[in-house]
């Protein structure tokens, strides 16, 4: 919401939110792990500039558009049957009512696990690291976009189609479909741009 300045101290955080030293340290530690803040040289913390505009989430999807379809075409791509079954079960859970009942955290984590599982199957550590980093940073913006859950049924159906294509070794089709899937999500997010604002 922009309540704290871009650069702040532990004391400012403690005073503003009436936290103990241990609570403030726990919050800062989690924010650091997620990539939302970084320690300033010498003193204090600063927010990542990637969190400060509504364009941030859209930019993260454009990065994913460049990386994720390519990951499905890696020569060493191999999607383990157990991973495939786990991903499929998660999508079915949502279609059977989880879209309405799951928390924002659960919805975000399900999407992250799905996409990271496919990228991990590429065996390319550069793709894997890139997607993990962008997913950590976009969590807060992703929560805002979940105020509108209408698009999730379509997401689940698209995820199931991707799994079907990959299960049958149709990686080129899956790569093209992944591009389409991320592109349609990007278009949907531009329609709810107001929800992404602090």
Predicted local distance difference test score (pLDDT) of residue 107: 87
* Beta bridge mates, 8: 45
Predicted local distance difference test score (pLDDT) of residue 171: 98
pTM for this entry = 0.76
Q: What is the pLDDT of residues 75-113, one digit of tens each?
A: 999 999 999 999 999 999 999 999 999 988 888 889 999
Q: Over the chain, what is the mean pLDDT? A: 86
Predicted local distance difference test score (pLDDT) of residue 50: 62
Which tokens in the block code for residue 197? 């604002």
Q: Do the Cβ atoms of 13 and 46 come closer than 8 Å?
A: no
Tell me the pLDDT band of 24, cut-offs 50, 70 and 90. Answer: very high
């Amino acid at each position: 919401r922009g309540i704290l300045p871009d650069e702040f101290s532990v004391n400012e955080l403690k005073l503003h939110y009436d936290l103990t030293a241990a609570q403030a340290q726990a919050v800062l530690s989690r924010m650091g792990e997620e990539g939302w803040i970084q320690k300033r040289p010498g003193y204090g913390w600063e927010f990542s500039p990637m969190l400060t505009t509504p364009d941030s989430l859209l930019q993260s999807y454009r990065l994913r558009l460049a990386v994720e379809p390519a990951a499905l075409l890696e020569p060493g791509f191999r999607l383990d049957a157990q991973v495939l079954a786990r991903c499929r079960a998660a999508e079915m859970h949502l279609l059977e009512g989880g879209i309405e009942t799951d928390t924002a955290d659960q919805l975000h984590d399900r999407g992250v696990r799905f996409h990271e599982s496919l990228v991990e199957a590429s065996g390319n550590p550069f793709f894997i690291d890139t997607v993990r980093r962008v997913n950590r940073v976009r969590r807060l913006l992703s929560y805002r976009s979940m105020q509108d859950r209408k698009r999730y049924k379509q997401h689940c159906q698209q995820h199931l189609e991707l799994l079907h294509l990959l299960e049958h070794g149709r990686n080129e089709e899956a790569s093209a479909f992944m591009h389409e899937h991320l592109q349609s999500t990007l278009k949907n997010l531009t329609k709810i741009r107001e929800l992404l604002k602090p």
